[in-house]
Amino acid sequence: MNKILLSFSICLVAFSLTAQKPVEWISSTESSQWVTQNGLFTTSSSQISDIIILTDKPKQRIDGFGACFNELGWTSLNSLSVADRESVMKELFAPGVGANFRICRMPVGANDFARDWYSYDETEGDFEMKNFSIANDLQTLVPFIRNAEKYNPDLIIWASPWSPPSWLKWNKHYGCASTGPDIDKRFQNGLTKNNQGYEGADLFIQKDKYFKAYALYFSKFIEAYNGQGIQISAIMPQNEFNSCQIFPSCTWTAGGLAKFIGSYLGPAMEKLKVQIMFGTMERPDISLIDTIMNDPLAGQYIKGIGFQWAGKGAIAAAHKKYPEMELYQSEQECGDGKNDWTYCSYAWSLMKHYLLNGANGYMYWNLALDKDGISRWGWRQNSLISVDKQRKSYMYNFEYYLLKHVSHFVMAGARLLETSGMNDNLLAFVNPDASIVLVVRNEDKSDKKINIKIGNKEIDPLLKADSINTFIIN
């Protein structure tokens, strides 16, 4: 048994011998969020339990939770008073205060929640990247990240592009799919249908000097952000590399990415001591991962894999086949901008799926948006925080409290715990300090009493109807 497991086992034995203790309990419902419930204690366990926490069967390590730094997130928060903005940022990022965000994503250039299209070098033929500049980011992403790091200097940042500079793609356009002329002119991208890309084809120009230029582009991005005091820990080479979108996007084949990673991006990032993770995977097809991992050059550089959207269908197989690989849920599905309790319940099912199938990190998508939640390209989406710019007010949405139910209590280095019993609508963790964190959902329309066994102790809370509950057993 390794030292970490031995330490957990010793602490858990000690836990099982302690006397009755009060249990911290936080619950949320559609009508009332983050309510402290009192009067729950551990008792000696009985013979029959609805749920058994298998404290001797720790699973994967949990590295942390977070979201994505997007331009429209910063412009929305920056419309608030300084005091309100700082209150939000402290709540999100300060350790021990609120969400405890520890791992966050950022785009390399524009994504669909940018103010508009841009890259760091739109000078066609500039293979030496002489005109490379992050001037745009100095207005938005750099101050956004710096503000977060003020509250958590140990924040881990990883990055991925939605599109390379347009001149590195054969269609010479930031998008992959045409909007066509029939949608609102505000959201049209101007790409003609005969210049569209498609899934299963490389939209990036597959030539040596283009690969070299793009690897240099990544290196200059890392160096420019280092110059701003922001360290990028890892790169994923392409967001949703199968998806041909009207907003910034670029389709690649797995073979094309293998060539780029193995001969160009891998060596460039190795020099800068930046890790490469494969992704982001938005298809349930593990053969796409195998193509990279089995490539003798590319495979040696891959330190992790990011999954989102339909990629959730591949994470279980990937965890089984590559058990030592770091796995991220890299972008929670984004909803429809309603930010309602129904979608919050769906988000809980996503969180369960990813964590129970091997994810080490879990990332929400939009930290904050204007209250209408609409992107530059007309897509309305959910966010953790909604901002009313006219009233200079904000509110935390249901999914924020859902995420906080886990991220506030589950510390970096925690382990997911296996469970058994007749109720599987929960997640269980053991922290490095041996505290047990249980997050339990009651989806019934009526209150429900359950019995949960932990070691030789148990708790028997009465869960409110349609509720999310977190229990901390010290």
Alpha carbon 163 to its chain centroid, in Å, reads 19
Tell me if the bond preceding 280 is cis, omega within 30° of 0. yes
How high does pLDDT run on average in the chain? Answer: 95
How wide is the angle at C-alpha 406 spanned by C-alphas 400 and 407, nearest 5°?
75
The fold for domain 64-412 equals: TIM Barrel (3.20.20)
DSSP 220-271: HHHHHHHHTT--EEEE-S-TTTT---SSS-----HHHHHHHIIIIIHHHHHH
Please write the tens of the pLDDT for every residue from 167-189.
999 999 999 999 988 899 999 99
Residue 282, pLDDT > 60, answer yes
* Helices and strands counted in the chain (H then E): 11, 23
Residue 470, pLDDT > 60, answer yes
Rounded Cα gap, residues 399 and 401, in angstroms = 5
The pLDDT score that the predictor gives to residue 297 is: 98
pTM of the model: 0.94
CB neighbours of 120 closer than 8 A, spacing ≥ 6? 108, 109, 132, 133, 134, 136, 165, 217, 220, 221, 224
Residue 6, pLDDT > 80, answer no
- Residue 19: pLDDT band (50, 70, 90) is low
Give me the percent of the chain exceeding a pLDDT of 90: 93
- Residue 16: pLDDT band (50, 70, 90) is very low
The pLDDT score that the predictor gives to residue 46 is: 78
Q: Could you give the C-alpha distances from 336 to 12, 43, 244, 368, 402, in angstroms and in order?
A: 43, 44, 20, 14, 17
- Residue 1: pLDDT band (50, 70, 90) is very low
Q: Could you give the C-alpha distances from 73 to 107, 113, 187, 371, in angstroms and in order?
A: 12, 8, 19, 11
Give me the percent of the chain exceeding a pLDDT of 70: 96
CB neighbours of 19 closer than 8 A, spacing ≥ 6? none
Both tokens of 446, joined, read: 């009526």
Please write the tens of the pLDDT for every residue from 34-93.
999 999 999 998 778 999 999 999 999 999 999 999 999 999 999 999 999 999 999 999
Residue 13, pLDDT > 50, answer no
The pLDDT score that the predictor gives to residue 2 is: 52
Rounded Cα gap, residues 60 and 328, in angstroms = 12
Residue 15, pLDDT > 90, answer no
C-alpha R_g of the chain: 23
Both tokens of 19, joined, read: 């006397």
Contact 7, 413 (CB under 8 A): no
Rounded Cα gap, residues 459 and 46, in angstroms = 10
Rounded Cα gap, residues 26 and 6, in angstroms = 30
Average pLDDT over residues 202-217: 98
Average pLDDT over residues 417-438: 97
Please write the tens of the pLDDT for every residue from 227-250.
999 999 999 999 999 999 999 999
Residue 17, pLDDT > 70, answer no
Domain 3-60+415-473, second-level architecture:
Sandwich (2.60)
Please write the tens of the pLDDT for every residue from 307-357.
999 999 999 999 999 999 999 999 999 999 999 999 999 999 999 999 999
Domain coordinates of the chain in residue numbers?
3-60+415-473, 64-412
Residue 12, pLDDT > 90, answer no
Please write the tens of the pLDDT for every residue from 249-259.
999 999 999 99
Rounded Cα gap, residues 125 and 121, in angstroms = 10
CB neighbours of 342 closer than 8 A, spacing ≥ 6? none
First to last CA, the chain: 24
Strand partners of residue 472: 24, 437
Average pLDDT over residues 375-385: 97
Average pLDDT over residues 427-449: 98
The pLDDT score that the predictor gives to residue 97 is: 98
The pLDDT score that the predictor gives to residue 20 is: 81
